[in-house]
Amino acid sequence: MPEGKRLYRLMCLIAKAEIADKAADIFSEHGINVEYRMLVHGTASSEIMNIFGLATTEKVMISAMMKKESTADLLSEMRKKLYLGMPNTGIAFTIPVSGGMNKLFENIDRMEKTERMEENMEDRDFSMIIAIVNQGFSDAVMDAAKPAGATGGTVFHSRRVENSTGKPFWGISIQEERETVMILARNSRKKEIMKAISTECGIDSESNGIVFSVPIADVEGLG
| Summary mean pLDDT of the chain | 76
Q: Give the pLDDT of residue 21.
A: 92
pLDDT tens-digit profile of 183-219?
Answer: 999 999 999 999 999 999 988 889 888 888 888 888 8
Q: Give the pLDDT of residue 203.
A: 82
Question: In which element (H, E) is residue 143 found?
Answer: helix 138-145
**178 neighbors 135 (Cβ within 8 angstroms):** yes
Q: Give the pLDDT of residue 16.
A: 86
Among 22, 108, 7, residue whose Cα is nearest residue 62: 22
Q: Which comes out higher in pLDDT, residue 5 or 217?
A: 217
What pTM, to 2 d.p., does this model score? 0.63
* Strand 218-220 with 210-215, pairing: unpaired
pLDDT tens-digit profile of 137-196?
Answer: 999 999 999 999 998 888 988 665 444 444 444 444 444 678 899 999 999 999 999 999
Question: In which element (H, E) is residue 131 found?
Answer: strand 126-134
Question: Which residues are CB-neighbours of 206 under 8 A, at least 6 positions away?
Answer: 134, 137
Secondary-structure class of domain 126-214 per CATH: alpha beta
Q: Which comes out higher in pLDDT, residue 217 or 98?
A: 217
- SS3 assignment, position 190: helix
**For residue 100, which amino acid is it?**
G
Q: Is the pLDDT of residue 3 over 50?
A: no
Which residues does residue 73 pair with via DSSP β-bridges, in sequence order? none
- Lowest-pLDDT choice from 80-89, 131-140, 156-165: 156-165
Q: Give the pLDDT of residue 96.
A: 82
Structural domain boundaries of the chain?
A: 8-123, 126-214
CA angle 152, 158, 163 (to 5 degrees): 135
| Domain 8-123 in CATH 3.30.70.120 | yes
What's the whole-number mean pLDDT along residues 24-44?
A: 83
What's the whole-number mean pLDDT along residues 54-69?
A: 77
DSSP state of 15: E
Greatest CA separation found in the chain?
Answer: 49
Among 33, 48, 42, 78, residue whose Cα is nearest residue 60: 42
How would DSSP label each residue in 80-113? Answer: HHH-TTSTTSEEEEEEEE-S-GGGHHHHHTTHHH
Q: Is the pLDDT of residue 105 over 90?
A: no
Q: Is the pLDDT of residue 77 over 90?
A: yes
